[in-house]
Amino acid sequence: MVSTFKLSTTLSGHEQDVRSVVAASNESIVSGLRDATARVWHPLSTDASKGWSSEVPIESTIAFQLPTNAFINAVTYIPNEKEPLLAAAGQEAIIYLTLPQDNFVKAGDDFGKYQLVGHSGNICALSYKDGYVISGSWDSTAKIWDLESCTVKFDLQGHQSSVWDAKIVDASKNIFLTCSADRTIRKWIGNKQVAEYSGHNDVIRKLLVFPDAKSFASVSNDGTIKVWDLDSGAVLQTLVGHDSFVYDIGILSNGDLVTTGEDRTVRVWRNGNILQVITLPCISVWCLSVLPNDDIVVGGSDNNLRVFTRDSNRFAPQFQIQEFVESVQQSSIAEQSIDDLKRTDIPSSDILQNPGKQEGQTIMVKNPAGVIEAHQWSGGEWAKIGDVVGSAGGGSGKKVDLNGQKWDYVFDVDVEDGKPPLKLPYNSNESPYAAAERFLADNELPASYLQEVVQFIEKNTAGVQLDQQLGPTANPYADVHGSPAPAAQSKTQPSILPQKTLISFKDFKAETLMKGLTKFNNEQANSKFTESELSQISTNLLSLNSKEALELITFYIPKIINEWDASKKLIGYDLLRVSIPRVTTVDLIRSTDAAEIILKALNTGFDEVETDGSPLFMMLLKILNNLVGSTLFLQLYITTNDSANQLSYNEFFEELVAKLESITENFASSQTAKTSKHYNTTLTALSSFIYNLSALVFINSSLRSNPSASAPVVSLANGVAYPLIESNAEAAYRLSMAFGNFAVAKTIEVSPEWSNKVKALYGSEPRFAELDQDLKKI
């Protein structure tokens, strides 16, 4: 009789999806995720037999935090005898190394002990073996790093798309494996490709090198797991069972394989057959790691890590296992995610008295109340895994064909003028993040677009997906994926607070900007750009990646702002607006003057603002919005309190607040400004800035841990509240949302006086009423 895995413990503490996990040692687990942190987990017990069971208190410390809201997508542990290190990487395209025992490496600590700089795109894979770290990136390369010099030892170039995983096969012989969105696996000796393996028909997500180093396994978005012979490249076995993308793979000491995927499951395999299927209460089971005692830890899109064990001594108490089972049962499964579902053919629940045909088999039954339920055969019994709900938004539920695959939605996305739109396919049973990552990887688009694509999907599908707000376990004050909260909260009344999505003003048309720039350049008596310079600016705008944006900021924009006629400077600030959000931290490290240039430009602009409705005030506010959440914003306006180990706003920000309050007062009292077409838009941009600063409290936990840090922002909100509220409903709503965020973060104690004005003017609007109900819960 094969023993089955059962829940051992749940590790809660992350605020967003857990994207990577690794067993750092016998006593610790390291995880990394979308909330820009890496955490180290320790069981507070000396009894090794208890492992990570629920009987053992668990300590969690933030070992590393990025200075921006960029995702951490990969972590690994480097067990050097002299100095063990934790490596973390993601959207910033930098690998940060820090001591795992450090209690919170943060902005202001030089972002960790060491930095490995060389990739130009999102880093999605890290692995360590025998003195080497290997990384894979959306820049289509993998790199092997010399940890002594912190430089690239081998640069593996050849893939035609993102490298999703990279593994060291034999460090002594410099043999490496990589897999990619180009659907190939490649073998390398040093930096030379010596073999290419093809067999998957979709993105290949992860690799596992077997202990004998003679064979390896791969998992793919095509839903299969393949076992390969390393020398011949022959496919030895193909494992089929997952219903969607397969994300990660591990191996137990007895040779059993463990996989996770987008179908909510962890699956255990032996000799090509499924031994066990564990369904989780989240859509995406992103990652797994096998612990030294053969327990497994998995991380998912519900922000939690869960440890499962086969050892009965480490099973969680029965009531915790029951809570876990109930959380799975309370999930909702979109009807259109189930192929060929015909409600008239659904059998009654009596069929559950018959055994399943194989582990993991899923069937639909109609319960006595007429509700269609999904049940899965697991561990010798049927387990309910959710209710089947109707299609979203009154949709037809008909599948759309794209390249031979069926999708619930296929959107047209315009990314460049004059070119055909790109196709964005999406199924209701997958994570918007997974769909967005696939879309960006397939079309070689920057990782910085990820959040925008996710928002596009959620907006256009009305949030159709497996229900992540699991009734009593949903946190009404959490982001899309909730964490535990009191049972009194109802799943039918989800909260809208806090809001963490930043508002930005990044859109532009390169042709329009160049037309305006050329016109104003021709009108200048002095300090004109040459034809060659105009051509270079045009080239930069057409691609406008990080390097091009940084070049505009440091070489071209200062000339416009500092030397051109006042009436022509607006075009320079517009260029600054579109350039700032494109600059990545990896390029800022190579530039020592970008932050100083931007600060000088902003100060110059605010000194020249006229309060008669001039669009310059509006443009400056849009620039400020685009700064929030970036490393540039931290460099300009945030300081570290070394004694308290906390972040706070600096004197430059306090000067900015004073300028904004003064300009807004004059702006709102000017009759000329009030008749300007820019009046409402300008004040809405100011309200957006205040809202973004409130969202930053949840993006950067260092600000949240210091409630007094928000005082300048609250002061700004109160100082400009009445003009914003009286201008238009959107400005009032964004200001009110900012107040809600601060209330959730406990950075303010009382309701501001201006909230009565909001109720008087807009209280009858549903969105204001909904927000008011949320505020009453706090």
Q: Which residues, including other chains, have CB under 8 Å from residue 691's CB and lie 6 or more apart? A: 499, 503, 734, 735, 737, 738, 741
Range of the domain at 363: 332-389
Residues 459 and 365 both lie in one domain? no
Each residue's pLDDT tens digit, 278-307: 989 887 899 999 998 899 999 988 888 899
- Residue 382: CB atoms within 10 A of its CB come to 21
Query: Whole-angstrom Cα distance, residue 39 to residue 62?
Result: 4
Rg (CA), the chain: 27
Residues 655 and 766 both lie in one domain? yes
In a domain, 683, yes or no: yes
Residues 378 and 456 both lie in one domain? no
Instruction: For residue 62, give the nearest of 649, 700, 573 by alpha carbon.
Output: 700
Query: Whole-angstrom Cα distance, residue 112 to residue 95?
Result: 10
Q: Which residues pair with 308 in a beta bridge?
A: 7, 296
* Regions of the chain short of the pLDDT cut 70: 1-2, 25-27, 35, 43-69, 81-82, 100-113, 331-345, 369-370, 389-399, 414-421, 428-431, 433, 444, 446-452, 455, 458-495, 589-592, 611-613, 641-645, 701-702, 749-750
Query: Whole-angstrom Cα distance, residue 90 to residue 87?
Result: 11
In a domain, 710, yes or no: yes
Query: Whole-angstrom Cα distance, residue 348 to residue 43?
Result: 46
How many structural domains comprise the chain?
3
Sole residue written with tokens 């706090």 = 778
In a domain, 470, yes or no: no
Q: Are 159 and 187 in contact (CB under 8 A)?
A: no
Each residue's pLDDT tens digit, 198-208: 999 888 999 99
Residues 445 and 339 both lie in one domain? no
**How far out from the chain centre does Cα 606 lie?**
34
Residues 346 and 411 both lie in one domain? no
298-to-277, 278, 391 alpha-carbon distances in Å: 13, 11, 30
Tell me what pLDDT residue 468 has.
31
Instruction: For residue 430, give the nearest of 586, 619, 261, 269 by alpha carbon.
Output: 261
Residues 343 and 443 both lie in one domain? no
Instruction: For residue 624, give the nearest of 583, 580, 655 by alpha carbon.
Output: 580
- Looking at the chain, the number of H-run helices and the number of E-run strands are 20, 38
Tell me what pLDDT residue 477 has.
21
Look up residue 148 and give its two tokens.
Answer: 């002594």
In a domain, 571, yes or no: no
Sheet holding 58-65, edge to edge: 18-23, 29-33, 37-43, 58-65
Q: What angle do CA 532, 537, 539 make, to 5 degrees?
A: 95
Q: Are 89 and 126 in contact (CB under 8 A)?
A: yes
Residues 360 and 455 both lie in one domain? no
Tell me what pLDDT residue 45 has.
58
Tell me what pLDDT residue 127 has.
94
Residues 423 and 352 both lie in one domain? no
**How far out from the chain centre does Cα 389 lie?**
27
Last residue of a domain, one of 365, 389, 413: 389
Q: Which residues, including other chains, have CB under 8 Å from residue 247's CB and lie 6 or more apart? A: 205, 206, 219, 260, 261, 262, 284, 285, 286, 287
Tell me what pLDDT residue 298 has.
94
Residues 341 and 454 both lie in one domain? no
Sole residue written with tokens 């949709």 = 395
DSSP string, 624-659: HHHHTTSHHHHHHHEEEETTTTEEEE-HHHHHHHHH
In a domain, 260, yes or no: no
Tell me what pLDDT residue 364 has.
82
Instruction: For residue 498, give the nearest of 724, 771, 253, 759 by alpha carbon.
Output: 771
Tell me what pLDDT residue 641 has.
67
Domain CATH number, residue 408: 3.10.20.870
Instruction: For residue 152, give the nearest of 103, 105, 119 by alpha carbon.
Output: 119
Tell me what pLDDT residue 463 has.
38
Last residue of a domain, one of 408, 437, 463: 463
Residues 354 and 439 both lie in one domain? no
Q: Are 373 and 388 in contact (CB under 8 A)?
A: yes
Specify the DSSP element, H or E, that contains 696. helix 679-699
What's the residue count for the chain? 778
Q: Which residues pair with 647 in a beta bridge?
A: 640
Tally of CA atoms within 13 A in the half-sphere of 753 that contains its CB: 5
In a domain, 224, yes or no: no
Instruction: Produce one character per residue of 220-242: b if its CB has 16 or more CB atoms within 10 Å, e if not.
Output: bbbbbbbbbebeeeeeeeebebb
pTM over 0.85: no
Instruction: For residue 248, give the nearest of 161, 139, 359, 125 by alpha carbon.
Output: 125
In a domain, 191, yes or no: no
Residues 440 and 366 both lie in one domain? no
Residues 715 and 778 both lie in one domain? yes
In a domain, 635, yes or no: yes
Query: Whole-angstrom Cα distance, residue 739 to residue 97?
Result: 37
Parallel, antiparallel or unpaired: strands 405-407 and 409-413? unpaired
Q: Are 315 and 7 in contact (CB under 8 A)?
A: yes
